[in-house]
Amino acid sequence: MKQRDFENRYRDSWEQLEAWLKADRNKSEVAALDLPVAYRNLCQQLAMAKERQYTNRLIDHLNQLVMAAHHRVYRQETLRRKGWLHYLLAGFPQAVRANSRTVLLATALFLVPGLILGIGTYNNDALVYAVMSPDQVMDFESMYDPSNRVLGRERGSDTDLFMFGFYIKNNIGIAFRTFAGGVLFGLGSIFFLVFNGIYIGAAFGHITRVGFISTFYPFVIGHGAFELTAIVLAGAAGLILGRSLVDPGQHQRTVALRLAAVEAMKIMYGTFLMLVIAAFLEAFWSSSASTPIAIKLGVGALFWVLVFAYFILAGRREDANHAN
Amino acid sequence: MLDTTYNVETPEGIDLRARAAGPVPRILAYAVDVFYRSLILAAIGMGLFFAGFAGAGIWLVCAFLLEWFYPVFFEVMRRGQTPGKKSFGLMVVNDNLTPVSWSASIVRNLLRFADFMPFAYATGVISMTLGRHFQRLGDLAAGTLVIYREEEKAPIALPDTTPLPPPQNLRQQDQQALVSLLERHEDLSEARQRELANLLEPITRKKDSDALSYLRSVGSWLLGGRG
């Protein structure tokens, strides 16, 4: 068949498909179209055009049309609502448990330097200055000085909102970086875990040494349950990426990385949510000075229990069902 | 390294072709996006200026969302194109050339930070330069690719000629050469086309515009036109 006859024969169907692809918003205007059928026919016509060596212009045109239709046929389903609920109730804790060794490693990378610096700064007056500058230490001390009531409720609610914005931008940014750094053979995640461990450990040790316990601990215990766990989990997700590059197993490195990213993201979505919760608590709950210390400590402890129970217990039944 | 075409075979047995975009247009597109983002942030900042401390808090949340999710939003909702990518004709797709999915877009944009290390996207540029398809680390992990979006070409009007049969059986290559001469009649200057037609003088025994119009006629016949 000559090219011109070929074009004449199929032009209508191409134009119809093109019109359908263009009018994506208001479909009512365009005649209904069986996309998969139209797409398959188009593919066949492109193959014919190539086989018969028709002109490049025609082949390019068909190729573009195929590509546009291909995009439409294989468009991936967007997130389903049921998927989200299932993820929160089971998928997230399951993913954490499935990677428990990596999570433990991340915990150790965070906790061991933290404990060392915590105990060190508690016993040694000068050690905190190895981590922070004198100005930072001063700021830090004045923030939690019980004689200084800035922490209290006289700080207006607009300040709460400001701090919320600050925690969102700063803390979630830190967690995202801790995760992203993992793709550099895990080094970035290790660095941020250890760095945060050192910094937070030093802060704990120093404040305890100075004796501002009655302001500091009630402040950090509540959101800490979500924030510290989330940082560790973000680090673990990063380590999953890093491991796939260091030890790709039987896959090509790029393939291993791809698979690891899917696994790591199962942890990261939940981590993001935990950090948002943490920012809320830190801005609106932890900072309130009107709440008695005992209640804040109690609720904070409850949060810790809840977080741990969630990761240990949620979605267990489903695991068992799968095993059967 | 120089061949940037990227081929995927679809389940229908069709080879899809795309051209992977290199570092330079991508950096420029990124710069455009940074500009837009700063503009948006400045606008929000001015809007919230009178809201005081609370406004600053909201501004920080907006800054956070823009920093991490601005590309995700556009890549998924605007067919793989942030405004910057759009201005350079680029788009993000999954590496099977399907539209980029939410999860893939989130991964590639979360890992942006690693590509940025240690400064100015050094890691990302190195990764792009070393890889076959200019993928930065985020692209590798997400299984995505930045390609050129092909422009829609208007179908060309062929010159008006009476089709004539070729003098002898032409080989496939020769037929294609004649057809593409016809197709490119608007891209090449008339003089250059005559010059090309003159090359065939030993065969066609015609010169200049005669030769050209004869070759066009033959080309038109080859395309299926009949007198």
Contact A209, A219 (CB under 8 A): no
- Its sign, for the CA torsion A136, A139, A144, A147, is positive
Residue B54 to residue A157, Cβ atoms within 8 A: yes
Highest mean pLDDT, choosing among A83-92, A106-115, B76-85, B92-101: A106-115
What does the block give as tokens for A116? 């060392």
Cross-chain Cβ contact A6/B114 below 8 Å = no
Q: Which of A48, A77, A164, A184 to mutate to test the interface with B (most CBs of B within 10 A)?
A: A184
Entry field: residues in chain B: 227
Name the residue among A64, A62, A36 with its Cα closest to residue A47.
Answer: A62
Specify the 3-state DSSP secondary structure of A1.
Answer: coil
Q: What is the pLDDT of residue B227?
A: 46
User: How big is chain A by its Cα radius of gyration, in Å?
Assistant: 28
| Both tokens assigned to B50 | 């009178």
Q: Is the CB of residue A242 less than 8 Å away from at least one CB of chain B?
A: no
**Range with lowest mean pLDDT among A183-187, A233-237, A312-316, B108-112:** A312-316
A35 has pLDDT over 60:
yes
Closest CA to A106 of A286, A254, A291, A242: A242
Do B222 and B174 form a contact (C-beta atoms < 8 A)? no
Task: List, in sequence order, the alpha helices (H) in chain A.
Answer: 3-22, 35-51, 56-73, 81-86, 92-98, 100-123, 134-144, 157-167, 173-180, 187-210, 213-246, 253-280, 293-313, 316-323
Query: When comparing pLDDT for A114 and A144, which is higher?
Result: A114
Return the pLDDT at A196. Answer: 92
Q: Are B144 and B134 in contact (CB under 8 A)?
A: no
* A159 Cβ neighbours under 8 A, 6+ residues apart: B53
Whether the CB of A84 is below 8 Å from some CB of chain B: the reply is no
Give A11's pLDDT tier (boundaries 50, 70, 90): confident
What integer pLDDT is reported at residue A76 of this predicted model?
Answer: 57
Q: In sequence order, which residues have a C-beta less than 8 Å from that of residue B1 and are 6 or more positions away?
A: none
Distance from CA of A182 to the nearest CA of B (A): 8
Model confidence band, residue B154 (pLDDT cutoffs 50, 70, 90):
low
Separation in Å, CA B47 to CA B34, B38, B54: 20, 14, 12
Mean pLDDT value across chain B: 83
Please state, in angstroms and rounded to a whole number, the distance separating the CA atoms of residues A234 and B116.
Answer: 18
Query: What pLDDT is attached to residue A153?
Result: 44
Positive or negative CA dihedral for A94, A98, A100, A103?
A: negative
**Whole-angstrom Cα distance, residue B96 to residue A35?**
19
* Residue A303 to residue A289: CA distance in whole angstroms: 19
Interface test with A, best of B107, B119, B226 (most A CBs within 10 A): B107
Beta carbons of A254 and B140 less than 8 Å apart: yes
Q: Of all residues in chain A, what percent carry a pLDDT higher than 90?
A: 28
What pLDDT score does B116 carry?
A: 85
Instruction: Check residue A140 and give its pLDDT.
Output: 78
Q: Considering only the beta carbons, identify the residue of A61, A64, A184 that sits closest to B114.
A: A184
pLDDT at A231: 94
Residues of B within 8 A of A172 (CB-CB) are 64, 68
Length of chain A: 324
Tell me the per-residue pLDDT of A259-311, one tens digit each, with 9 for 90 and over: 899 899 999 999 999 999 998 888 888 777 777 888 888 888 999 999 999 99
Q: How does pLDDT run across B13-32, given as a tens digit for each residue?
A: 777 778 888 888 999 999 99
Whether the pLDDT of residue A115 is over 90: the answer is: yes
Rounded to two decimals, what is the model's pTM? 0.78
Q: Give the span between the Cα atoms of A189 and A176, in whole angstroms.
A: 10
Write out the DSSP string of B145-184: EEEEPPPPPPPPPPP-------SS---HHHHHHHHHHHHG
Q: Is the pLDDT of residue A216 over 90?
A: no
Q: Which residue of A has its CA nearest to B142?
A: A258
- Percent of chain B having pLDDT more than 70? 93
With beta carbons under 8 A apart, name residues in chain B contacting A188.
114, 117
How many Cα atoms sit within 13 Å of B39 on the Cβ side? 7
Residues of chain A contacting residue B18, judged by C-beta atoms under 8 Å apart: 67
pLDDT digits (tens, 9 = 90+) for A141-181: 777 777 765 554 445 667 788 888 888 888 899 999 999 99
Instruction: Look at the block and give the residue holding tokens 């939940």.
Output: A270
